[in-house]
Structure 1
Amino acid sequence: MIDPVSTMATIGAGLSLVDKFVDLVRKLRSGEQRPYRVEAKAEAGSFVIRRDGQVVEKVAAQQLHLNEWDSARFEALRQRVSSLWNQFNGLYGQLPNLSVDEQVRIKQRMDTMRHELCKDFREMVDISEKVLGVALEDHYTLYSTCHDGLS
């Protein structure tokens, strides 16, 4: 039996990683940091999506399409994303200490990792959408993050 509350918490944690990824890529591209406009998380037996502080979607545990939940695949993606994310962050941390030539090389490596992260995050979001029965595209679009390069 699949626990809907745990499933919602897992989906929320995955979307939180997407937020962090989008923020870091935005910072790498433009140096810009801005607060989240959209927040999605499990709250009191429901999955709530807020835009600019206002609830735009609320999915109760009973409304989940648990037959769509592929916990093994989601966990495999989460592990892969965690590994790549740690490497990506490690490289990001090295950037200020590198020469301009080395920065270019490291950013190219990070861009390759970004492509891999985008693919895995998209799959995680797809699984989440199926389970929630809510399109997250307008909330968690990876298009601008996954399009073009880092600089």
Structure 2
Amino acid sequence: MEWLDQLRILLDILIAAVLGGVIGFEREKKDKPIGFRTNMLIASAAALLVALGKFVAFQMENSLDSASLGVDPTRIIHAIIVGVSFIGAGSILKSEKEESIKYLTTAATILFSAGLGIAAGLQLYPLAVGITVLGLTINYVVDKIMDLSSDSN
């Protein structure tokens, strides 16, 4: 891999980190357990793993016996989703006394941050930005609507 290609991957990771940070900042402001840094790291790691997966797939395609290797670059996305879901599951708390579940939205936001990192890693920048705006809208605007509806009751 040429150094210019590596710089391009670093740009993808930086974009993912910034967008993940935007999502994480909103979570941090609400004092949720997984916030700014974690969302940045998850989005960045997803972008890095996708970029490395593309590189490995390219290398395998150029090998002598690529057909027997069964290279499937979508497996890296599957692995990211599984790994991030494990982290998200660790953030969910179930209170037996109150029969309630807490931080489910935080867990979903982690998966969302991984998704925007995957988009950035695939160099789908408008999609990554759009996903970020959508995530903020869901987490912030819907929260305000819920507050207004509970105030009116």
Query: Normalization by structure 2: what TM-score?
Result: 0.33
> Which structure carries more strand by proportion?
1
> Which structure carries more helix by proportion?
2
Q: Name which one, 1 or 2, has greater alpha-carbon Rg.
A: 2
Query: Normalization by structure 1: what TM-score?
Result: 0.34
